[in-house]
Every structure is written in C-alpha cells, then in structure tokens.
Amino acid sequence: MKIMLFDPMVGGHHIGYASYIIRYLVEQGDEVTFVGWRLDESVERLREEGAVVRYVTEGSEGVKFGGGTLRGFWQMSRGIRYCFALANTCQADIVHHLYLERSELPLYLQMLGPRKRSWNFFATLFWPYFIHKPQEKVGLPKCLYHAMSKRVLGSLLERGKLSGVFVHTSRIKSQLIQLYGDSSLGERLFVVPDPVEHMQQTPQNVAREQLGLPQGRALALFFGGLRWDKGPDILFDALPLFEDDCAVLVAGQAEHFGAQEIASCRRHLQDAERLITRLEFISEEDVPNYFAAADVIVLPYRKAFKGTSGALQHAAAAGKPVIATDVGEVGPTVRENGLGIVVEPESPDALAEGIREFLAKKDELSEEIRPRALQYAEANDWRIMASKVREAYLSSLGRGE
C-alpha cells in the first residue's frame, strides 16, 4: 500500500504517535509518506523510521503552525489541500489525518463536491471535545463552534467521505454513536489502543542519581506540558496540604503556567525544595528515567480534559501507580484497570487527600499496582494499535491480510 500520514503539529505525543504507525507499516512493506507543516528536527527523524517526509511550506521558511483561530483555520485548510493534491499525484491508497480535533470544518470544505480521488481517507479523533455533560459550563462562542464541528463530522461520516475514524476507547465510540443516533456509523468507528511503548526498567535510585534528584524522599511526578486543562496549578495549590516528606517533580515545557506560578507556590511552602522543576522539553531518551525516579504519577486534569493521557500510558509502562482526577477517559481507565487512586477533579483538597492516601500505604499500593500496570501496558502495546490501523486500511480497500 501507499499511505500518506498528515499532522501539522509537532508538540507532545504527535511525532511519537506517527512514529509507531510508520515503523509498523514500513515493516509490512508499505510505502509511507509523512506530511508535516514546516521543516522541523523532530519531524525529520521520521525519515529514520523509513518514511518519506514532505512539508506543506516546502521551499519557504514557513511560519509556525497554529496561533489565532483564523490563522489556524487557514493553515489547516492549506495543509489538507496540499496533502490531497500530493496524494493524487503519488497515487496513494490511503490518506490518514492523525489529529482530527478542531480541523473538521476545513476538512469538510476541502472535501465538498465530487472531487476525484484514488485514495480512502481516515482520521484519528483523540478527544470528543464537542460532547458536553449537562453540568458543564461552556461559553456561547465555544458552544456554537463545537456544535458546528459535531455536525460537520457527522456529515463526513454519513456521506462516506471518511472511510473510518480511529478512537482510543469503546466509550468514545459509544458516545459518538449515541450523539449521532445512528448505529450504522459504528462500522466506520474503529477502536484502537492508545499506544504504549515498552519502557526500560531502571532502578529508582539510579534514575534519581542520573537526573540529580534527592534520594530517600517520596516523589510525585507531574509530566508533560504545563497546560491549563492538565491542571498543574491545582497540584501547586494542593502541595502545601499534604505531608512534608513528599516532594513534587514537575517535568515539561511551560505553556499556560510557568516560572511565575512556580515561584508563587514555593512561597507557600515551608520547604521550597519540595517543588522540583524541569521546565523544558524532555527528550525521549530521558523519559524512562523520570518515571523510574517517581513513586507515583499525578494527573490533576480538569473537566475539560476529555481524552486519554500519554502520561498515564508512560506510567503503566513503568509499572507506576497514578493519582488521577475523574475526567475524560483517564478516571474510568484508572478505575477499571486498578492503576491507582481516582479523585474529584478541580479540587486541591481532594487531590491532596488522594496523595495522602497513597503515602499512607505507599509500598503496599506500589507492589499491588505494578503487575496490573504492566499488564495494561502490554495489552495496549503500540504494535497492536498500528496493526489494527493497518487492518482498517486493508478492509477499506477490499483486501485481507
């Protein structure tokens, strides 16, 4: 097969996710082209996985992808148009948009009309961000935008413009079927694991020494970009409320929160060294050490967080327990698989109580949760995800393995 993958974004898990699919497809003998937005070192490494790499802004400097709503809309439209034209030129069999969120409308506009194409189109939806619970407070502009996105996605599925949408849990699939009131759409909704990669099991004391972290003290890890929906500020507010013998390590790039919030938190601590920060991009090589160094992973996400969590998947691969808020797919996944403690969201008091509960029986819980976490990681191995994606491609083309 000739397969084209498209993702204009490079932050967080984006490149790693593409890498899993590329690695597997190339092993199966498929020809893979990855289309990114502009020349980027992290995207270039996909060539090492065996992909041909192309850029929407090829031949020019190209501004960074994203920004305001209008610029983002224009950029996404341009990227999709470029990808479709390239797919026709290369006679691709499959085009796969790896991150569908908030690109439904530009996608719909590019697919209007009887445009001739030789390829089938797939997309991955990580978060059903446009589905709101009755008690959720959503402003009018966002509510209207989400309603439009929801309607456009339904139209693309109903009209067969989308051969399939990949989602990461059966709950998300059920929510979408219920949302559109059409059980037949289930045939084009494919549940694939949120991928987990095997993680080297480094002794905790060795990992801490390599990272320059204190020994002999309980350590809770917040990992990933300091975004609003991930609730790092809720963790900062909770920190003074639990035991002084537990430190918190925040590892990831400053986004909505950064040095100012860190400094404010430290001012409320009797021991400022309880808050340890690594406000930087964490390389893939260093990720295993951060999880090995921790006793527990904290996921203080807000109600707006509706998807799965890369940090949760890393924690499982490392065999570490988590303390997670009951939001999105995170709370149910932790609860159903026995991966840790689930607490009320958006409450520093509840989060602190969860951490206190863990510290009270740290060794017992860690020993109890470790085998379950590793079993969960094995069941969600990246190869399983990639193989199911490829099976869907083949099925849409009328081919079998």
What pLDDT, in 10s, does the model give residues 118-144? 899 999 999 888 888 777 778 888 889
pLDDT of residue 204 exceeding 90: yes
Q: Is residue 363 very low, low, confident or very high in pLDDT (cuts 50, 70, 90)?
A: very high
Distance CA 275, CA 122 (A): 43
pLDDT of residue 390 exceeding 60: yes
pLDDT digits (tens, 9 = 90+) for 281-315: 888 889 999 999 999 999 999 998 988 999 999 99
Any idea which architecture 2-195+381-396 has in CATH? 3-Layer(aba) Sandwich (3.40)
Q: Which comes out higher in pLDDT, residue 377 or 260?
A: 377
Share of the chain above pLDDT 70, in %: 99
Q: Is residue 28 very low, low, confident or very high in pLDDT (cuts 50, 70, 90)?
A: very high
CB count in 10 Å sphere of residue 219: 20
β partners of residue 277: 250
Position of tokens 């045939």? 187
- Find the angle CA(118)-CA(116)-CA(119) to the nearest 5 degrees: 20
Q: What confidence score (pLDDT) does residue 53 get? A: 96
Give mean pLDDT, residues 235-250.
Answer: 90
Distance CA 97, CA 120 (A): 11
Contact 52, 32 (CB under 8 A): yes
Share of the chain above pLDDT 90, in %: 72
Per-residue buried b or exposed e for 83-117, using 16+ beta carbons within 10 Å of the residue's own CB: bbebbeebebbbbbbbbbbbbbbbbbebbeeeeee
Distance CA 66, CA 43 (A): 16
Mean of the per-residue pLDDT values of the chain:
92
β partners of residue 164: 122
Q: What confidence score (pLDDT) does residue 113 get? A: 64
pLDDT of residue 114 exceeding 70: no
Any idea which architecture 204-379 has in CATH? 3-Layer(aba) Sandwich (3.40)
Shared fold status for 2-195+381-396 and 204-379 = yes
Q: What confidence score (pLDDT) does residue 401 get? A: 57
Sequence spans of domains, the chain:
2-195+381-396, 204-379
pTM confidence score: 0.91
Distance CA 251, CA 232 (A): 11
Give mean pLDDT, residues 329-358.
Answer: 96
Give mean pLDDT, residues 267-272.
Answer: 86
The closest alpha carbon to 316, from 209, 254, 212, 223, belongs to: 223
CA 55, 61, 67, 69: dihedral to nearest 10 degrees?
-70
Q: What confidence score (pLDDT) does residue 400 get? A: 58
Distance of CA 150 to the CA centre of its chain: 20
pLDDT digits (tens, 9 = 90+) for 57-71: 987 767 888 777 788
Q: Is residue 88 very low, low, confident or very high in pLDDT (cuts 50, 70, 90)?
A: very high
Q: What confidence score (pLDDT) does residue 284 get? A: 84
User: Both ends of the chain: CA-CA distance in Å?
Assistant: 12
pLDDT digits (tens, 9 = 90+) for 169-194: 999 999 999 999 888 888 999 999 99
